[in-house]
Structure 1
Amino acid sequence: MLERELKLYIPPNQRIALTDAIHLIASQPPIHLAAHYFDTPLRCLARQFAALRLRLEGTQWVQTLKMRGTDELSKLEYNHLRPGPSLDLSVYQNTAAAALFEQLAAPLEVRYQTDVQRTIAVIKQDQSEIEIALDFGVIKAKGSELPINEIEFELKTGHMTDVFTAASKWLKRFALIIELRSKSERGDALYEYMLHQPRPLKGASAALALAQQPYRPDPIGESHEALVSHLYMTGANVFLGQVIRNATFLAGVDEIVAPKDLQASYLTLLRVGLRRLRSCRQLFKPWLTSSELALDQELREHYKEFGLWRDKDMFWLELQPKLVAAGLPAAKKLEPPKSKTSSAQALAASTEFQLVLLTSLANLVLLQALNPSAYQPDLPQAQLSSRLANWLSRIQKLCAQFGLLSPSEQHDLRNQIKRLRYNLEIVGYSTDDALYALLDKAQDQLGDLCDIYVVQDWYEENAVNKAQRAFANEWLNQKIAKYSAKSKKTLALLQDQRLKPDRH
């Protein structure tokens, strides 16, 4: 059976009001759900994006296997009633899951548990029936406990469009945050983390332990499917997932309070995801629907707003300490940027941003991002190749003129390099490809250079006195000379590169 559900995190200040709202429409009293999740020591199931559990639902044990579907919200689900808390793997014979268990390298064992109080309400949204599940509880692994405070929207009958419509209403009403991580994903991560920890963790401490690294997606890899529609959907889903998952951490899901440098990492990877998604949309622009193009414009505004906070992090956490260590006179703490929000965290958690992410997710899940022409099997891939080749040619012309480019033109060159590099990921280039590697290197070097220009402009306008301005300019000009020389060498090598025609 195909299960499609959308999960949203409930902030602390909204839990009482949301619980009251659910209880008014609940179809039954809250129920207790206790589940045991199984895997091998080497995570044979988790590595295949599968989860196997035994759950006590009231007095009935249910064995459930979930496997990855076609998008972030879809799972292939197999449910079987059991007489007690024991597994029966024979039920998967002659199913799509059979190969999963034939390849197990070791016996299955319980790795983590969930203990949940669930309140269920069934609503009508237009012609669809949607089950809303309000879950409060914990995920348990090796003595540690991770909180569960979430609401799920699952389609029972009708159209997935109505799930997004209903979820958007609740998101707006209760300032909810999209959570793509399943309970099994979090449980597996908690168990793995605790294998190397001497003391158990609970609550926000456990949540922070799982968020020690910003989310980086696995490489897309070379695809055997060359349809324009497949390439776009693959890239857009990966990049949007990067945005949403880092936004979840940055917004403080599970009440995590990350240190400033880790928050800055979430922000950086969130913006990289946004840039990748926008670059993907630029490549496939001829086939995008008007709604997908409109979403791109909305995300562009948020990208710029996040950029103000990213520049502040770059300045205060990276370059300012170096300037101070070098002897900057009259150093003082920087003022926050002139932004619409009080912090990058508030922007990530804002209802406006979360709604744009939800609508972007809906466009992909509902297959509303592309025009019908993109799904034609005879759509010539030469159009993609031509667009990529034109972008590379334009970049190479600018590389030849690098010494004459203004700071703003150098920034534009970097943006063009990023756009090409991110789209080469979609069409199967690996980090080992010479062209991709040079684009990556040039992007980093030009990024260092552009950051210096930002700091230099700030001191021109905001230096405390002439001595500070003079010191900053001298130090920054040395960095400009250094990064310019590095960039020039890399860009010269980039001029000799060509696209590989067999990749398109």
Structure 2
Amino acid sequence: MHEFEVRLAVPAEQIEAVASALRDAGAVAQRLRATYYDTADEDLDRARLALRVRQEGGRWLQTLKAPGRHALDRLEDEVALAAAPTGADPQLHAGSAAGAALAKALPHGAPLQAFFQTDIRRLAVRLQAGRSQVELALDHGWLRAGGRRLAVAEMEIECLSGDPADALRLARRWQRAHGLWIDVRSKSQRGRALARGTSVDPAAPAPPGRHAADFGGALLSQALDGVLAQAAGVATGAGDDAVHDLRTALRRLRTALHALPGLLPRVPASAQPVLRQVFRQLGEHRDRQVLVPLLRAPQRAAGAPAFAWQAAAPPDPGAVVRATAFQQVLLALLGACEAAGPGRTRAQARSEATDALRHLHRQLRSALPGWATLDAQAQHGVRKRLKRLRYLAEMTAPLFPRHASARYVRNAKAALEVLGQLQDTRAGAQLWRDQALRVPEAAWGCGWLAAREAQLEAQAGAACAAWRERARPYWD
């Protein structure tokens, strides 16, 4: 069966408030202790499967979960056990959709072994929400593996029957009331990372299939899954690499929303302004935490005077991601994915993608001959359009003959590499000019960056001319 569930992280200071609200609604407490299994080579993890045996009070259940249509949708098969088991039995799931995925992933005869355990206090209540029956549960406890443990505090809102939109409306209400945030990382993902002693590695969202019945819906789900996976890590303190990956995922999502509005499900008008603001705030963090050190290193090597950088702290990326406005937009976009009606035919989807690709391609070809006469802002606009074109070509590739877009994307990446260096230098120059107003020693860097900008501008012009010469439309 399909399971639709919204998982919201609960900040420590809100655990008791959430628990109290659930108790007021009639929630009942229960202790859940589970063991998760995989092969020694982690074949189930590679297939994004989770197999567990769990004790719920006096009964035992074996549950298998497999990927569904998007980050909040999963295939699930649950089997009641007559007694406490000594391990997990894959054969119990034969005949189910999740079981078919397990049989495909599990090498013949490969034994299963315990990877980690969970010990959770669950406070749960079932209630009617609109036309649906929904379960609300607060899970608070620990994951344990290899002598290590990790605290868990999350709220799960599961649509047991009816319309997932009702569960999403509840999620939006609880998020707003208690400052919760979406965390698509399952206990299985976090437990495996704990066992390995690593951070959670977000699963790459599956690309929309070549023969997807609703390519637009699948494309929006894919783009949104990428944002959700990276945002969960950033919200809980992941480093600058995760911030970079989230900005890339946001670019892809914004490209899809901007370039293919007729192909994608209808989304709220408020989405794009909020996504743009979050992207800008994360960019401010990136400039201060990544770009400044990146540009200071070669300046020191060239003899720049040492000085202490003086600037206000950049936006905290975790706070940016956890903010209610952003979380509400993510939940609204998930609702758009769920509410999508019958998709366009493959021919219609390809026609719309072709129109969008052709439009951007022609815009760029028209602008590039006058590259040297464009001001810095207009040149940055060229870079943004080329980046959008690259992402659009990658996202819509399944609509065209296999590998048709590969060369086109490679040529775009080559030009974007130089354009990115130029933009970083210009952004750095502005930071150094502002710094020089506070610290005179920073003026040395202003001159160094001006010389670098002149060199890169010439290289960028050549790279753009090369792209214009080599880029061949593949969609006509």
Corresponding residue of 1:271? 247
Task: Give 1:171 deviation, angstroms.
Answer: 0.6
Q: Distance in 2 between matches of 1:329 and 1:101?
A: 64
Structure 1 residue 217 and structure 2 residue 224: aligned?
Answer: no
Structure 1 residue 299 and structure 2 residue 275: aligned?
Answer: yes
Structure 1 residue 447 and structure 2 residue 434: aligned?
Answer: no
Structure 1 residue 473 and structure 2 residue 446: aligned?
Answer: yes
Corresponding residue of 1:499? 473
Q: Secondary structure at the match of 2:120?
A: strand
Task: Give 1:41 deviation, angstroms.
Answer: 1.4
- 1:334-390 Cα offsets, whole Å, 9 max, x none, are 3127x8xx533221121222111221222113327xxx6x43465262332132022
What's the RMSD between the two structures over aligned residues? 2.7
Unpaired stretches in structure 2, ≥5 consecutive residues: none
Structure 1 residue 65 and structure 2 residue 64: aligned?
Answer: yes
Task: Give 1:26 deviation, angstroms.
Answer: 3.3
Q: Distance in 2 between matches of 1:79 and 1:469?
A: 64
Task: Give 1:150 deviation, angstroms.
Answer: 0.5
- 1:77-99 Cα offsets, whole Å, 9 max, x none, are 11111122144433333333246
Q: Secondary structure at the match of 1:291?
A: coil
Corresponding residue of 1:392? 361
Corresponding residue of 1:93? 94
User: Mean Cα displacement is larger for which, 482-491 or 153-162?
Assistant: 482-491
Q: Secondary structure at the match of 2:96?
A: coil
Q: Using a 3 Å threshold, how does the CA distance of structure 1 residues 291 and 89 change in structure 2: closer, same or farther?
A: closer
Corresponding residue of 2:32? 33
Task: Give 1:154 deviation, angstroms.
Answer: 0.7
Structure 1 residue 418 and structure 2 residue 387: aligned?
Answer: yes
Corresponding residue of 1:404? 373
TM-score (norm 1): 0.84
Q: Which amino acid aligns with 2:57?
A: G
Contact (CA 8 Å) 2:211, 2:346: kept in 1 or not?
Answer: no
Structure 1 residue 348 and structure 2 residue 321: aligned?
Answer: yes
Structure 1 residue 332 and structure 2 residue 308: aligned?
Answer: yes
Q: Distance in 1 between matches of 2:36 and 2:404?
A: 36
Corresponding residue of 1:204? none
Q: Distance in 1 between matches of 2:397 and 2:426?
A: 34
Corresponding residue of 1:121? 125
Contact (CA 8 Å) 1:122, 1:132: kept in 2 or not?
Answer: yes
User: Mean Cα displacement is larger for which, 490-499 or 479-488?
Assistant: 479-488
Q: Secondary structure at the match of 2:284?
A: helix
- 1:129-178 Cα offsets, whole Å, 9 max, x none, are 21111111112222221221101001123211111111111111110011
TM-score (norm 2): 0.89
Structure 1 residue 428 and structure 2 residue 402: aligned?
Answer: no
Task: Give 1:304 deviation, angstroms.
Answer: 2.6
Q: Using a 3 Å threshold, how does the CA distance of structure 1 residues 436 and 376 change in structure 2: closer, same or farther?
A: closer
Contact (CA 8 Å) 1:63, 1:82: kept in 2 or not?
Answer: yes
Q: Using a 3 Å threshold, how does the CA distance of structure 1 residues 345 and 325 change in structure 2: closer, same or farther?
A: farther
- The residue correspondences of 1:29-428 to structure 2 (distance < 5 A) are 30-83=29-82, 84-86=84-86, 87-96=88-97, 97-98=99-100, 100-101=102-103, 104-105=106-107, 106-191=110-195, 193-194=196-197, 209-211=198-200, 215=202, 217=204, 220=207, 223-225=209-211, 229-230=214-215, 232-252=216-236, 256=237, 262=239, 264-288=240-264, 291-329=267-305, 331-336=307-312, 343-367=316-340, 374-376=343-345, 379=348, 381-428=350-397
Q: Using a 3 Å threshold, how does the CA distance of structure 1 residues 469 and 58 change in structure 2: closer, same or farther?
A: closer
Contact (CA 8 Å) 1:115, 1:137: kept in 2 or not?
Answer: yes
Q: Using a 3 Å threshold, how does the CA distance of structure 1 residues 362 and 79 change in structure 2: closer, same or farther?
A: same
Q: Distance in 1 between matches of 2:166 and 2:416?
A: 42
Q: Using a 3 Å threshold, how does the CA distance of structure 1 residues 487 and 363 change in structure 2: closer, same or farther?
A: same
Q: Secondary structure at the match of 1:379?
A: helix
Q: Distance in 2 between matches of 1:367 and 1:58?
A: 39
Q: Distance in 2 between matches of 1:434 and 1:376?
A: 27
Q: Which amino acid aligns with 2:322?
A: A
Contact (CA 8 Å) 1:33, 1:57: kept in 2 or not?
Answer: yes
Contact (CA 8 Å) 1:8, 1:176: kept in 2 or not?
Answer: yes
Q: Using a 3 Å threshold, how does the CA distance of structure 1 residues 388 and 90 change in structure 2: closer, same or farther?
A: same
Q: Which amino acid aligns with 1:91?
A: L
- 1:16-74 Cα offsets, whole Å, 9 max, x none, are 2222222222342x211111111111222222221111111111111111111112111
Q: Distance in 2 between matches of 1:103 and 1:462?
A: 56
Contact (CA 8 Å) 1:316, 1:334: kept in 2 or not?
Answer: no
Q: Which amino acid aligns with 2:373?
A: L
Q: Using a 3 Å threshold, how does the CA distance of structure 1 residues 103 and 390 change in structure 2: closer, same or farther?
A: closer
Task: Give 1:111 deviation, angstroms.
Answer: 1.5
Contact (CA 8 Å) 1:33, 1:116: kept in 2 or not?
Answer: yes
Aligned residues: 466
Q: Secondary structure at the match of 2:204?
A: coil
Q: Using a 3 Å threshold, how does the CA distance of structure 1 residues 8 and 103 change in structure 2: closer, same or farther?
A: closer
Q: Distance in 1 between matches of 2:192 and 2:349?
A: 43
- 1:251-299 Cα offsets, whole Å, 9 max, x none, are 22xxx5x5xxx2x322222121111101111221234565344422332
Q: Distance in 2 between matches of 1:119 and 1:143?
A: 27
